[in-house]
Amino acid sequence: MEKLLQVRDLTIDYCSAELRTHRAVAGASFDIAPGEVVGLMGESGCGKTSIALALLNVLPKDRTRVTGSILFRGQELLTMRETSLRKIRGAALSIIFQEPEAALSPVMRVGNQIAEVIHAHRRWSWKRCRDEAASAIAAVGLPATERIYLAYPHQLSGGQRQRIVLAQALACEPALVIADEPTASLDAQSQADFLVLLRNLKSESNVSVLLISHSPEVQASLADRLLVMQSGKIAVDTAFANLNRHPSHAGTRTVLHPNRRPEVERVAKSALVSQGSSVR
């Protein structure tokens, strides 16, 4: 199968002011194919977010040392110049953060924030960018009304803000979206609604997703394949169904305990039946 992303022997070291080194990621290797949703899970501090930031090449160069290879569409991201990276970030490769507040300006209307992303990567008039932003809002299940477009982040609910962040990430039709704990800050119903939205997007488009979540429920709902990290290393790379049936690795049993299976099924079913629920 053709590979959109190829990560080989990725190692990430954080260096302190006292010249001490902490190895966050040790020799990680994995691929993502076009249209594939790859789940990445593991205990807190195992290196999941470090991998996400390395893929975007935004780790501070004065405090981190990153080695290995990250090929995106055959181009090496780790040695790419910043001017070239800016053309890729937000356009071909985008990210959804756990907290919408990390991606949204509190003093700018949300519709214009989406339009700004489009304007940065497309040579379009501001009017066309605004129209495309309104379409992006509708595409993530929010009513494309003037009230939503002109709202400031604090005027929207948590679920609505997370959908705006998703609209931002998808506005330029990226090939790969990194979703870093995208439902962690949502209540149960908003989480279920958001999972249904992501599932629908998965079936309707060819976008690839690196889904970072420690939640087996979220992974069971969306992931085609699952990577499990332990102590900075990828310990397991397999289909989610295989992992759930045969959690043979010790680290896997810690993250995905067999007695959590009913919870996985309950939340997945809840997400399915919530398709008719209102946006929260």
**Interval 105-115: pLDDT, tens:** 999 999 999 99
Dist. CA 280–CA 273, nearest whole Å = 15
Q: Please state the pTM of the whole predicted model.
A: 0.84
239-268 in b/e form (b: 16+ CB < 10 A) is ebeebbeebebebbeebbeeeeeeebeebb
Q: Is the pLDDT of residue 271 over 60?
A: no
Q: What is the separation, in whole angstroms, between the first and last Cα of the chain?
A: 38
Dist. CA 174–CA 161, nearest whole Å = 20
Instruction: Give the lowest-confidence range in 108-122, 128-142, 186-200, 262-276.
Output: 262-276
Token duo for residue 51: 């991998």
Q: What is the pLDDT of residue 227?
A: 93
Which has more pLDDT, 20 or 156?
A: 156
Is 51:25 a contact under the CB 8 Å cutoff? yes
Q: What is the pLDDT of residue 97?
A: 84
Q: Is the pLDDT of residue 174 over 80?
A: yes
Q: Mean pLDDT, to the nearest integer, of 31-56?
A: 92
Dist. CA 186–CA 225, nearest whole Å = 24
Instruction: Give the lowest-confidence range in 89-98, 184-193, 259-268.
Output: 259-268
Is 237:204 a contact under the CB 8 Å cutoff? no
Task: Output the CA torsion 182→67→9→166 (10° steps).
Answer: 20
| Closest-CA residue to 7 (of 92, 72, 56) | 72
Q: What are phi and psi of 214, to 5 degrees?
A: -85, 0
Count of CB atoms within 10 A of residue 133's CB? 27
Q: Is the pLDDT of residue 199 over 90?
A: no
Strands (E), the chain: 5-15, 21-32, 37-42, 64-72, 75-76, 93-96, 176-180, 208-212, 225-230, 233-239
